[in-house]
Amino acid sequence: MKLLVFAHTPPPHHGQSYMVQLMLAGFGGDRRWHKPSAPSPLGIECYHVNARFSRGLSDVGEFQGTKIFLIFWFCLQAIWVRLRYGVTNFYYVPAPGKHVALYRDWLVMLLCRPFFKNIILHWHAAGLAKWLETATTIGSRTITYRLFQPVELSIVLSQYNVADAEKLLSHHVRVVNNGIPDPCPDFETAVLPQRRERFARRVQFFAGETAAAPVTVQVLYLAHCTREKGLFAAAEAVLLVNRQLVARHLPMQLKLTTAGNFVTAEEQAEFDRLRENPEFAAVIKHLGFVSGAQKDQLLRTSDLFLFPTRYLGENQPVNLIEAMAFGLPIVTTRWRSLPEMLPPNYPGLVDDQDPKKIAEAILQVLAVKSGQQGRANFLARFSMEQHLAELAAALRSVATTG
């Protein structure tokens, strides 16, 4: 099956671009420039148009005049690939709930759709259906429906996400979890023993055996550094937990490491002002964007992953999958598709970004979760092999139904 992939790969680096990169690599790469010596093992031949409209995170979803030119340029490339290689299947990642991104989608569908037999949407962001009904005009909704409806296949990441596909009257909808290469293949031998040891110390602490040595809990926030993603709520919750522990004369302290790029200068300035407070500076450290060995070390040595996001398009973020792969207990929000990623009745889910509720969840999770269940959940549901196999099966279904 030949597939025109109209989507960008890093940079900028975020969950969607990373998953597109993994998909292309898993299916054998871009055949526009490199013709493999062997057929794709999963039966998908990709022809990639790297539709990169933004140079950095601050550009994503923002209007710039050059983006209009880029839309026409990328669409011309797609049409050329259609004619040159006979590709009839058009793979596209719809926008989250942002007006400028929606207008981009309109132009892409208007220019490219007439040349392709099958339109395949891969919904990496969630919430477009509700956003169209509550935050746009009747005219915008009408144009969106006319340009998109119907599509042959929608690939969604969760049951929550199905509503987005149904809004555009997809002929077929397939649920396929995200998946990543195992970032911690030595978990059983190198990470699990340390996780068990630190968890045992926390159990002693919460059981009242405070004669043991003081406990330091390393908390990790690894995401874009924005209020919407939960940066400020995470910091305030950690400070609140520490104040409660001091008030109870308990020898435990949380230290928060935040890692990721700031998207706006205003939020970075606000965070820098908070760091001038000695209480804040003593327990909260910011590293900026991390990758490679530094990121690996953070995930190995942390005790809790804290991600109280309320991001509008949040769906199935890679950072939570990575945290599970490293066996990290998680505290996150009951938001969009996130509850479906975790086991039923998971205690680390909070309804919003209220620091008091987050603090309560932190203490509860630290007392009862070692992280082993998260690692098992990763292996069962979010492995790269399973993701690629299910994604390929969904894509190949178009050849038989389209």
Q: Which CATH number characterizes residue 28's domain?
A: 3.40.50.2000
Q: How far is CA 162 from CA 92, 242, 335, 365, 392, in A?
A: 16, 40, 15, 30, 19
Q: How many domains does the chain have?
A: 2
The type of residue at 152 is E
- pLDDT, one tens digit per residue, over 16-58 is 999 999 999 999 999 988 777 677 889 999 999 999 876 655 4
Distance between CA 329 and CA 304 in Å, rounded?
Answer: 5
Do 16 and 103 fall into the same domain? Answer: yes
- pLDDT, one tens digit per residue, over 258-270 is 999 999 999 999 9
Q: Name which residue leads in pLDDT, 130 or 326.
A: 326
Q: How do the residues of the chain divide into helix, strand and coil, expressed in percent and rounded to 5?
A: 50, 15, 35
**pLDDT band for position 215 (cuts 50, 70, 90):** confident
Lookup: tokens for 230: 């939960």
Answer for the pair 326, 184: CB distance below 8 angstroms, yes or no.
yes
Do 377 and 387 fall into the same domain? Answer: no
Do 168 and 207 fall into the same domain? Answer: no
- pLDDT, one tens digit per residue, over 338-394 is 999 999 899 999 999 999 999 999 999 999 988 899 999 999 999 999 999 999 999
Do 63 and 155 fall into the same domain? Answer: yes
Share of the chain above pLDDT 70, in %: 95
Do 118 and 261 fall into the same domain? Answer: no
In order, the DSSP letters of 63-102 are --HHHHHHHHHHHHHHHHHHHHH---EEEE----S-HHHH
Do 100 and 236 fall into the same domain? Answer: no
Do 10 and 133 fall into the same domain? Answer: yes
Query: What is the per-residue pLDDT for 298?
Result: 98
- pLDDT, one tens digit per residue, over 300-332 is 999 999 999 999 889 999 999 999 999 999 999
In order, the DSSP letters of 360-373 are HHHHHHHHH--SHH
* E strand map for 192-297: 215-222, 252-259, 284-288
Query: What is the per-residue pLDDT for 203?
Result: 87
Q: Which residues pair with 307 in a beta bridge?
A: 332
Query: What is the per-residue pLDDT for 14?
Result: 82
Lookup: tokens for 233: 């709520």
Q: What is the mean pLDDT of residues 238-252?
A: 93
Query: What is the per-residue pLDDT for 313?
Result: 87
Buried b (16+ CB within 10 A) or exposed e, 18-41: bbbbbbbebbbbbbbeeeeeeebe
Do 238 and 304 fall into the same domain? Answer: yes
Distance between CA 216 and CA 108 in Å, rounded?
Answer: 52
Do 97 and 223 fall into the same domain? Answer: no
HEC readout, 234-246 = HHHHHHHHHHHHH
Which range is least confidently modeled, 126-135, 204-213, 218-227? Answer: 204-213
Q: What is the mean pLDDT of residues 267-284?
A: 96
- pLDDT, one tens digit per residue, over 52-107 is 876 655 455 454 568 789 999 999 999 999 999 999 999 999 988 888 889 999 99
Give the range of the structural domain holding residue 9, as residue numbers without chain letter.
2-179+383-401
Answer for the pair 263, 288: CB distance below 8 angstroms, yes or no.
no
What's the length of the chain?
A: 402
Q: How far apart are the first and last CA of the chain?
A: 12
Distance between CA 206 and CA 95 in Å, rounded?
Answer: 45
Do 137 and 277 fall into the same domain? Answer: no
Kind and range of the H or E run holding 49:
strand 45-49
Do 98 and 166 fall into the same domain? Answer: yes
Q: What is the mean pLDDT of residues 137-162?
A: 91
- pLDDT, one tens digit per residue, over 149-158 is 789 999 999 9
Query: What is the per-residue pLDDT for 400?
Result: 60
Do 165 and 267 fall into the same domain? Answer: no
